[in-house]
Amino acid sequence: MATRRDDIIKKIMQRVVKTEDGCWIWQGPTSGDGRGGGYPRMNLDGQTVAVHRVIFTCFFGFIPGKKQIDHTCRNRLCCNPEHLEMVTHKKNQLRRDLANRQARTQSISP
């Protein structure tokens, strides 16, 4: 018999495309284009929730209130649990800033 967890994962996977680099790219609704946008969203029990947080919870358990889920692949649409890590806000921001600096450096280099 399928558990609630199994049903949720199945619902998510119906809207995911797996890529060669290991990302599970969400094909459904997102949080939009504004600041902080571009994160996968889904309806669960009448509530709009962040897909990456739901999938993290399904695989690893509870997320404390002061923790965030970081995409180690740097792709907000990815919901592969192997690409998600629970971190502090500060660590998440440091990683984001480092990725942005690296992207700017790469765009300048020949």
**Rounded CA gap, 53 and 84, in Å?**
9
Q: At what angle do helices 51-60 and 4-13 cross, to 10 degrees?
A: 140
**Total number of domains in the chain:** 1
Residue 13 reports pLDDT greater than 80: yes
Range of the domain at 16: 4-108
**Rounded CA gap, 27 and 14, in Å?**
9
pLDDT in tens, 35-74: 779 999 999 999 999 999 999 999 999 999 999 999 999 9
Reported pTM: 0.87
Please, which residues have CB within 8 angstroms of residue 71's CB and are 6 or more apart in sequence?
A: 52, 78, 83, 84
